[in-house]
Chain A
Amino acid sequence: MASVDISGVKKSYGAVAVMHGVDVAIGDGEFVILVGPSGCGKSTLLRMVAGLETVTGGQIAIDGRRVNELEPKDRDIAMVFQNYALYPQMTVAQNMGFALELAGRSKAEIKAEVDKAAEILSLTALLDRKPGQLSGGQRQRVAMGRAIVRHPKVFLFDEPLSNLDAKLRVKMRAEIKALHQRLKSTIIYVTHDQIEAMTMADKIVVMNAGRVEQIGTPLELYDNPANLFVATFMGSPAMNILPAVTQAGAVLVAGVATLPIVVSVPPGTKIAYGIRPDEITIDPESPVKAEVVVVEPTGSETHITARLAGHEITLISKARVALAPGDQIGLSFSPNKHHLFDDATGRRLEASGGMAA
């Protein structure tokens, strides 16, 4: 168990800078998820914490101790890779005990640790198998077992569930979360899947193009995205973003809907108006009309894509709806559930007065 302090960390490959000063403070026992699109630097950051990549600038400290120059094995971390990286010629037990064996622990000690980890991960029956004889989910558990036996200060997960099928992914998600609650260990977890991030994390770090966009709890990010990137990245289906213009005491959205929102910017300013799909409802009375483009029933709810004054928007209906492409529907936007962003910088605009979102 330990804290991890990442301060001003930069990374460049030759002249190409890929990370431009990242600061993340991770508390003892926290489950932190780094999330972002491919190429945003989240895996690079994790690999720098692991010691598999050099740090160009800034400092990484584990438990208050600077680790920039330490070898991976001296950092007291364990890592689970996306493709598992199990040693193919060793049995499950040998795979899990390898680190302890290299550390010169006695056979009895290794066996005890391996048995304990196998028990936690229900791998006991598979200890004599080779990785080739295991299913994807079992291999993933062995990879986690290899990490657990070492009792590291920090667990690092690099997209561990990406290679599993959808059903198994949901199951392993719950298993990893349960494991965290049981071991109370510090975990840094990288994923591109915002649902994984939302469901598992204590704290999410949203990254984009080598920068941290926002850090917060899953619901903080969902309810108060700091900018357009976070707003559209977190949540599925993504938040609708519509062009809008401020008026005195109101905002004109997409040129058709006038909503009573008080904004801190002068009237006539162009802004971006965001609203989540589940905050838009079908309202036949509403003067705001849209044309249905696609209807996607998921069973529990229906996702409807509609065209509003030339802009495609998505809404979620809890009720079953009988709609076909081409139908005209009236839309109403939940008041106080909007997110306003500066058109130029993408930064969040706080609505003034009692109308804050």
Chain B
Amino acid sequence: MTLFSQAFRRVGSAKVDPVLVALWISLILLALIWITPFVFIVFTALKSNATVMGASAFMPPTELAFENFAAAWRRGNFSTTAFNGVVITVIKVPLGLFISAMAAYALAKVPMRMNKALFALFLFGTMLPFQVMLAPIFRQVNAFGLINTYPGIILPYLAFGIPYQVFILYGFFSAVPKELSEAARIDGASHFTIFRRIFLPISLPVLSALLILDFVATWNEFAMALVILQDPKMWTLPLGLMSFQSQFSSDYGELNAAIIMTVLPAALVYLMFQRYFVAGLTSGAVKE
């Protein structure tokens, strides 16, 4: 218990700090509130419909009804929507990040006449809510004949995802000491080499944070997908889930199983990449 008891004390102090105790209590309370819906969803997903109707919502399931998952997968056409979601996300997220990182590097580190104006243009992109653009985008995508295609949804996703990522990465790259790229220039590196060998590795924490955010946002995106992907064969998971909900809204067990299957990949990606969230990857580069 030494580790636990240390949590309530200031570093190097033997006395219990009431502020720390209060912080811990509020943290635990907050975590409980946060986790309640998930517990509810998981429990419900594992109950048969009769149990859901008959017992309290927070009662743990007595017999695990795993068949809910199989049934929901089949009836909700998950193999199609999950495949579409994977294709779109796996292409869009890394491609968008790569483009954003290159743009941010150029804006931050390559001296150009138009740097400020171009960056302002990107900033402007972050200010446009895409909901108001849905109709024009639909017309545009339609004009290109890309309705119900992967490029038709990936291109608008890129357009709306990149400005924000450029904004974040520009800030990060600007803070990298100029001596680092100068040293690399003297060592004989081209801009692309400096970008690939120096800037990408040291921005791993930022890139992985953006990757998680972008993965979750892309995976769960609904409105644009609803407008552009009209053929059920092209649907992504959120669209499939909506359709499932409207068809089988009374089958709570299967509905919640479907919800879990929809959010699980996002949670897994988060767990995989959150270890790169560690700060201090640049420590030791330069003396602060």
Which residues of A are in contact with B by a Cβ distance under 8 Å? 50-52, 71-73, 77-79, 81-89, 98-99, 102-103, 130-134, 136, 139, 146, 150, 163
| Contact flag A79-B284 (CB < 8 Å), given A85-B177, A85-B179, A85-B180 | no
By the criterion CB–CB under 8 Å, are A83 and B187 in contact? no
Nearest-Cβ distance from residue A142 to partner chain B, whole angstroms: 10
10 more A-B contacts (CB under 8 A) besides A87-B184, A99-B187? A52-B182, A77-B186, A85-B182, A98-B189, A99-B188, A102-B189, A136-B287, A146-B183, A150-B187, A163-B287
A-B contact count (CB 8 A): 88
Q: Across the interface, which residues of B come within 8 angstroms of A102, CB to CB?
A: 187-189, 193
Residues of A close to B193: CB separation below 8 A: 102
Q: Which of B186, B188, B281 contacts A79 (CB 8 A)?
A: B186
Bound CA span A102–B190, Å: 9
Give the Cβ gap from A75 to chain B, nearest Cβ, in Å. 8
Q: Does B285 contact A (CB under 8 A)?
A: yes
B202 interfacial contact with A, CB 8 Å: yes
Residues of A contacting B188 in the complex (Cβ-Cβ under 8 angstroms): 73, 99, 102-103
* Whole-angstrom CA separation of A132 from B288 in the bound complex: 12
Cβ contact within 8 Å between B183 and A131: no
Q: For residue A74, which residue of chain B has the nearest CB?
A: B188
With known contacts A85-B182, A87-B198, A133–B177 Cβ distance under 8 A: no
Report Cα–Cα, A102/B194, bound state, in Å: 11
**B286 interface residue (CB < 8 Å to A):** yes
Closest to A156 in B: B186
Shortest CB distance B187–A (Å): 4
CB distance from B278 to the nearest CB of A (A): 12
Distance to closest chain A CB from B111 (angstroms): 10
Whether A81 lies near B184 (C-beta < 8 A) is: no
The reply to whether A134 and B284 form a contact with Cβ atoms under 8 Å apart is yes
27 A-B contacts (beta carbon < 8 Å): A50-B182, A50-B186, A52-B182, A72-B182, A73-B187, A77-B186, A78-B186, A81-B179, A81-B183, A83-B177, A83-B286, A85-B177, A85-B180, A85-B183, A86-B286, A87-B180, A87-B183, A87-B285, A88-B284, A99-B186, A99-B188, A102-B189, A131-B284, A131-B285, A133-B284, A136-B287, A146-B187
Does B282 have its Cβ within 8 Å of any Cβ on chain A? yes
| Contact yes or no, B283 A132, CB < 8 A | yes
CA distance A130 to B280 in the complex (A): 12
Chain B residues near A136 (CB, 8 Å)? 287
Establish whether residues A85 and B286, one from each chain, have CB atoms under 8 Å apart when the complex forms.
Answer: yes
Contact B282 A88 (CB under 8 A): yes
B280 near A132: Cβ-Cβ < 8 Å: yes
User: Contacts A89-B201, A134-B284; is A52 near B185 (CB within 8 Å)?
Assistant: yes
A190 to chain B, nearest CB (A): 14
Interchain CA distance A87-B185 in the complex, whole Å: 12
Are B284 and A71 within 8 A (Cβ)?
no
**Contact A79 B287, CB 8 Å, known A87-B198, A103-B188:** no
B281 pairs with A73, CB closer than 8 A: no
Residues on the B chain within 8 Å of A134, using CB: 284
Query: With A87-B180, A87-B198, A132-B280 in contact, is A72–B286 under 8 Å at CB?
Result: no
Contact across chains for B187 and A98 when beta carbons are under 8 A apart: yes
